[in-house]
């Protein structure tokens, strides 16, 4: 496609035609020449906003962009309403690729009861691969918002599902042929399907109803980055048992293949939760079919301790995500 703003006919048939209206709060959504969206809230509700550029993958970038933004909103206790998308694509991108991207966006929005509120799509030579920048809009009842600084010393720390789900799925798809030379085909195919676990909306709803101090969707930097941000945001210490952190064998083997640390790998689909009644919340999550484990507690002071049996080390500041080291 030619550099510049999408031609109107392409915008209509490959972008706007692919998205639907389903939220009563949305009074005005995307359209030709329509640069803003209009969303109404009740008097006892507040907006929650989120922003993310999706750069770690090209395959399934549409669905990833929605899941990551919805998860951020859910970690604040909010119900996701919709997204504003800025889509930048290089010249060599075919219109059919754009249409597939938008269908993935819409399919994921429909599954999560969200809407595309509007945005901008442009062909440009400043990017080498498709890039989606997402602004998410959610709503929460006044007084029910969940903030990271709500974490307190003595809170239990819970991790849902398994870490490294997102990164493992991306690697399995992008390195499928190479992986199947070294690992069982069934293992690689299972890892590719880890994207089915990317939403944390179910566990966030259960956690909010139970009562939590803070929640954090585990994204770039993996569980180690999320733990640091959790402690830093609230000014508390951490005492975490590394062996308790849940991880799938598929993630371990795929990371070993490329010399990556799965504890520093993108982990959307896994949520870190702080609560005063950890054991009870773990039971509620498991009863709902969501794996969850206690991995430690918050402490007074600023020491962030990782225990591995008898070995003890201190948590480092977040490093660059391991996905960017993939050869």
Domain identity same for 218 and 282: yes
From the CB of residue 292, how many other CB atoms can be counted at a distance below 10 Å?
24
Picking from 109, 141, 173, the residue at the C-terminal end of a domain is: 141
Domain boundary pick from 141, 156, 175: 141
> 69 and 198, same structural domain?
no
Q: HSE on the CB side for 130, CA within 13 Å?
A: 23
Domain containing residue 271: CATH number: 3.90.650.10
pTM of the predicted model as reported, rounded to 2 decimal places = 0.91
Q: Domains in the chain: how many in total?
A: 2
How confident is the model over 124-149, as pLDDT tens digits? 999 999 999 999 999 999 999 998 88
Range of the structural domain that residue 64 is part of: 4-141
Same domain, 20 and 152: no
242-283 tens-digit pLDDT: 999 999 999 999 999 999 999 999 999 999 999 999 999 999
- 157 and 300 in a single domain? The answer is yes
Alpha helices in the chain (DSSP H): 8-14, 61-75, 95-111, 165-174, 176-182, 185-192, 201-210, 222-234, 249-258, 278-287
Q: What is the CATH number of the domain that holds 41?
A: 3.30.1330.10
3-state secondary structure of 217: strand
Statement to judge: residues 20 and 158 lie in one domain: no
Q: What is the pLDDT of residues 19-75, one digit of tens each?
A: 999 999 999 999 988 878 899 999 999 999 999 998 877 888 999 999 999 999 999
The domain boundary residue, chosen from 90, 108, 141:
141
């Amino acid at each position: 496609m030619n550099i510049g703003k999408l031609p109107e006919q392409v915008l209509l048939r490959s972008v706007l035609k692919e998205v639907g209206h389903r939220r009563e709060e949305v009074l005005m959504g995307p359209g030709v020449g329509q640069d803003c969206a209009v969303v109404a809230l009740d008097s006892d509700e507040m907006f929650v906003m989120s922003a993310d550029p999706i750069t770690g993958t090209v395959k399934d970038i549409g669905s990833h962009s929605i899941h990551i933004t919805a998860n951020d909103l859910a970690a604040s206790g909010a119900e996701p309403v919709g997204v504003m998308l800025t889509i930048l694509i290089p010249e060599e991108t075919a219109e059919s690729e754009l249409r597939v991207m938008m269908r993935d966006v819409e399919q994921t929005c429909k599954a999560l009861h969200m809407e595309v509120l509007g945005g901008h799509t442009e062909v440009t030579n400043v990017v080498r691969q498709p890039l989606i920048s997402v602004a998410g809009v959610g709503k929460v009842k006044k007084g029910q918002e969940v903030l990271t600084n709500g974490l307190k010393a003595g809170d239990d720390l819970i991790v849902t599902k398994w870490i490294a789900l997102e990164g493992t799925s991306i690697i399995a798809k992008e390195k499928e042929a190479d992986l199947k030379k070294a690992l069982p085909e069934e293992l690689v195919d299972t890892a590719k399907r880890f994207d089915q676990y990317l939403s944390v909306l179910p566990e966030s709803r259960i956690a909010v109803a139970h009562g939590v101090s803070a929640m954090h969707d585990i994204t770039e930097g993996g569980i180690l980055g999320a733990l640091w941000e959790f402690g830093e945001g609230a000014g508390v210490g951490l005492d975490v048992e590394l062996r308790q952190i849940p991880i799938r064998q598929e993630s371990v083997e795929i990371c070993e293949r490329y010399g990556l640390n799965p504890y520093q790998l993108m982990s959307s689909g896994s949520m870190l939760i702080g609560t005063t009644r950890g054991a009870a919340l773990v039971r509620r999550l498991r009863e709902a079919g969501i794996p969850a484990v206690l991995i430690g507690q918050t402490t007074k002071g600023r020491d962030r301790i990782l225990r591995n049996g008898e070995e003890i080390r201190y948590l480092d500041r977040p490093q660059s995500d391991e996905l960017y080291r993939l050869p």
